[in-house]
Amino acid sequence: MARSLVSDLRLAFSLGALGLGLATAIYADVTLRHAMAAEDGVVLQNEAHRILRKLEVEAASPPPQPTPESTQVDWWLLAPDGRRVLASAGAAFLQSVPWNGVGPDPVAFQTDRRHLYSAISLKSPLGTLWVAMDRSPEIRIVMHFRRDLAILLLALTLAAAGTGHLIARRGLRPLAEIRDETARIEAQDLQRRLDATRFPEELADVVGALNGALARLESAFSRMEAFSSVGVPWAMILPWSMITRRSVRVSASSM
């Protein structure tokens, strides 16, 4: 089965757009997650140090002070002996954090497909402050972002396939014109030639080859016409065997 140049170009454009789109999507996805993680790390560190300073100030003040709260993080304060002394209102999820691997730098971990956390652990004379941030909403943001990227990638691939089809059709149009003009040449007008200036320069060799073939065909027809217009002896037309058999029959009939 013959290959289709239009199909090849359409496939090439589609694969090119798909590859470029995938590379862009992966880069955008990694950049988005890295940016969110960096921003959350800064927020987590700032909130942890703010809460620790406030706890130290409250511990130094004789009258009891309200427990510091934060809308972005939750925390536990552990005494030096490991007892939980204070905790924020929403700190129940801190029980699932593997605190053995958490230090003064933010650490991200995901307990399942829907829950993502960042945690930090700070030491102070009061004990150990565990601070964690629930980053689960970021999972939904990333999933929506990936879905939008997939839709955009599909649209880009289809658009590239359509563009490749149109470009291929437009590029093959001169070949169709050459085909049609060549088909109109009859035996009576073999002197006609294709005008190479009407076609793209990439097809100059094709037009030149066709004109050369027409010239050779015209020359052959001219020789045939000249040959048939001159009286030719039978010996040049009929095979010698046919002449011999005819001579034998004539001799036999005369005897």
193's CB contacts (< 8 A; 6+ apart) are 211, 214, 215
Q: Which pair of tokens denotes residue 101?
A: 């691997």
Q: How high is the pLDDT of residue 205?
A: 87
Q: Which pair of tokens denotes residue 196?
A: 């190479």
Going from N- to C-terminal start, the domains of the chain cover 5-151
Q: What is the pTM of this model?
A: 0.59
Rounded-to-integer distance, Cα 23 and Cα 18, Å: 9
Q: Tell me the Ramachandran region of residue 186: left when phi exceeds 0, alpha when psi lies from -120 to 50, beta otherwise.
A: beta
Q: Is the pLDDT of residue 28 over 80?
A: yes
Which H or E element spans position 228? Answer: helix 204-228
The letter for the amino acid at 186 is E
Rounded-to-integer distance, Cα 250 and Cα 170, Å: 71
Q: Is the pLDDT of residue 63 over 70?
A: no
- Phi, psi for 134 (deg, rounded to 5): -85, 110
Give residue-wise pLDDT tens across range 128-162. Answer: 888 988 888 888 888 888 899 889 888 888 888 88
Give residue-wise pLDDT tens across range 66-81. Answer: 667 777 888 888 888 8
What is the DSSP track for 36-93? HHHHHHHHHHHHHHHHHHHHHHHHHSSS--PPP--SS-EEEEE-TTS-EEEE-TTGGG
Which H or E element spans position 112? Answer: strand 107-112
Report the half-sphere exposure of 12 (CA within 13 A, side-chain side): 10
Please tell me whether residue 131 adopts helix, strand or coil conformation. strand
141's CB contacts (< 8 A; 6+ apart) are 36
- Of the candidates 187, 189, 179, the one whose C-alpha atom is nearest the C-alpha of residue 210 is 179
CB atoms within 10 A of CB 53: 12
In angstroms, what CA-CA distances link 240 with 221, 227, 246?
Answer: 26, 20, 10
**Most confidently predicted of 13-17, 111-115, 144-148, 225-229:** 144-148
Please tell me whether residue 196 adopts helix, strand or coil conformation. helix
Find the distance separating the first CA and the last CA of the chain, reported in whole Å: 68
Please tell me whether residue 138 adopts helix, strand or coil conformation. helix
Q: Which residues pair with 78 in a beta bridge?
A: 84, 128
Q: How high is the pLDDT of residue 234?
A: 47
